[in-house]
Amino acid sequence: MAAKVLVIGATNGRFVEAFAKVTALHAKNNFSLSLLLGDLFSDPSQTTSEETENIKRLLHGEIRVPLPVYFGLGQYSLPVPVREKINSSGEVCENLFFLGKKTVLNTSDGIRIVALGGRLDAGLATGEAGGTEGDTLPFYSEQDAKGLKGANLADLLLTYEWPEGVGSRSALASPGVKGTSVIAELAAALRPRYHFAAGGEVFWEREPYQNKAKPGEGGSDAKITRFLGVADWGNEKKAKALYAFSINPKDTNITIPASATACPYKEDGGKKRPRQDSNSGANFFWGDHTSGGHERGDRGGKRGRAESCFFCLSYPQLEKHLIVSIGNEAYVTTAKGPLTNSTVNPSTLPFSSHVLIIPLIHTPTLIAIDDEDSRKSTIEEMTNYRLAIEQMLKSRGCGAVTFEISRANGVHSHWQLIPVPNDKLAAVEEAFKGEAKVDQIGEFEKRGVDAGNEGDYFRVWISGIDGSLVVSLKEGEYFDLQFGRKVLAKVMGLKSVHWKDCAQTFEQEVKDANDFKEAFKSFDFSL
């Protein structure tokens, strides 16, 4: 039976409000246990009178901890009263347990937890800072980490520090957190199902990665690890500080997710392997092109991380039948689960025409392309594709709306273009503005047609209207990725919004792509 687990970012002394939130969540979800990453308490040298009082209340059981909560070490030593309580009774209070500097723990649900707290002190020799007091100091040695490899395996690995190289082979934007090779070696050796580390002001969830099976285990690459850095509670950037998941340690039927990458570390537990560049090109959630004439070179894109990106060439599950045009800097594909179809479009447009315009360079945003010439030429060709498709649709008595979600933590930049009947086109601008207010996203403003805006934003181009509409997105806050489709569905009176609800058969996808390609032929500058 699966156990529900709640992970909490470091509270740094703000445990009263954190436990109040956990109490409310536990009442609704009935978690089996909770794990707190990093520092439960603040720096003892800067403890406020309020926190001192809260610590007393906690030790006397006056602050309720609603379920078993396990915490370890971060960057600070434990407060003296807490250390004394642990020494005398083994726990802080009811349901609040200290994992120590290094721990191997099997819970009543059969979950195997391996924890290594504190920061690496390379000069710390075996036996130094030992004993009970040493176990509460926020430092560990390389020998401490090596000793935990003897656990052989773990369902959950908890560390304060991040593993060095965890971003290698990932298609996601780098979180910018420096890790240590010692933690990487430990993770490679234990191959946990989940690896959690303290994130500070960063929440980052890596794509799952595959671990090599050890000799005698049978099978290959069947062990999947999910790494997450969980942000501190109450962090200024409002990054995610809570993470809930379910785990059944007895479930050995492992399904490899489509987004899974190779292990970012060396499988034998050594230092990370060098990043391997993939062939560049284009690949995406639902298609690719494999033309050999589009090697990009490393002109500012993130080719080294492209191998696991759904939009990049090396993604293993390719649907080539959706590609309709390939340029020098970008390409066009019909959409998987298009919002529009022949029953929605005017009779002069008997095929979907919902397409994606995607840069060949692997980059989370267009502005993130480092090389200025490459950035300009990519934006120019994507714009030319947009205008050419608009002209094709105009010749068939239909308008178009193109939108872009540009976020620094995105995977691979792209634009979605959706045909809108001319008689409904005039309602689009106000529909986007109104829905943004309803969703409390912010207010749209008119900007130029260029795509060089700084920061996170959502942009809309409406055919026949100069410029674009842009609303800034707040970093770290939730944004509905279906927002653009949702607004246009309302304008056109459609009930289905999500692409999965608009899925087509393979034969329908092929026909739509071929029909679009034929209609676009005389407008396609790439030919």
pLDDT single digits (tens) 408-461:
888 888 999 999 999 999 999 999 999 998 888 889 988 876 655 678 999 999
Q: Which of 203, 233, 202, 239 is nearest to 40 (CA)?
A: 233
**Domains, the chain, with CATH or none:** 3-262 (3.60.21.10), 323-523 (no CATH)
Structure confidence at residue 311 (pLDDT): 66
Q: Which residues pair with 242 in a beta bridge?
A: 8
Q: How far apart are CA 363 and CA 275, in angstroms?
A: 17
Continuous H helices in 333-482: 372-394, 422-425, 428-438
pLDDT in tens, 76-96: 999 999 999 998 888 899 999
Max avg pLDDT among 135-139, 146-150, 390-394, 493-497: 390-394
C-alpha pair distances (Å), 114 with each of 122, 136, 295, 358: 21, 17, 44, 42
Structure tokens belonging to residue 73: 């070490």
Q: How far apart are CA 353 and CA 512, in angstroms?
A: 8
Handedness of CA 48, 49, 54, 57 (dihedral sign): positive
Structure confidence at residue 301 (pLDDT): 40
Mean pLDDT of 381-410: 93
Residue listed under structure tokens 């290698």: 168
Structure confidence at residue 222 (pLDDT): 56
Structure tokens belonging to residue 34: 């909770």
Comparing 204 with 319, the larger pLDDT belongs to: 204
DSSP per-residue letters across 482-498: THHHHHHHHHTT-S--S
pLDDT at 526 over 50: yes
CA 14 remoteness from chain centre:
26
Structure tokens belonging to residue 263: 């292990």
One-letter amino acid of 78: L
Structure confidence at residue 96 (pLDDT): 96
177 touches 198 (CB < 8 A) = no
Q: How far apart are CA 242 and CA 317, in angstroms?
A: 32
pLDDT at 502 over 80: yes
Q: Which of 275, 268, 353 is nearest to 314 (CA)?
A: 275
Structure confidence at residue 394 (pLDDT): 95
pLDDT in tens, 309-368: 566 544 445 567 888 988 878 889 999 899 999 988 999 999 999 999 998 877 888 988
349 touches 398 (CB < 8 A) = yes
Helix (H, G, I), strand (E, B) or coil at 426: coil
pLDDT in tens, 229-264: 999 999 999 999 999 999 998 887 778 888 889 999
Average pLDDT over the chain reads 84
pLDDT band (50, 70, 90) for residue 285: very low
DSSP per-residue letters across 125-178: PTTTT-HHHHTTSSEE-HHHHHHHGGG---SEEEESSPBTTTTTT--SPP----
pLDDT band (50, 70, 90) for residue 221: very low
Helix (H, G, I), strand (E, B) or coil at 195: strand
Structure tokens belonging to residue 59: 């030790």
One-letter amino acid of 149: K
Structure confidence at residue 111 (pLDDT): 92
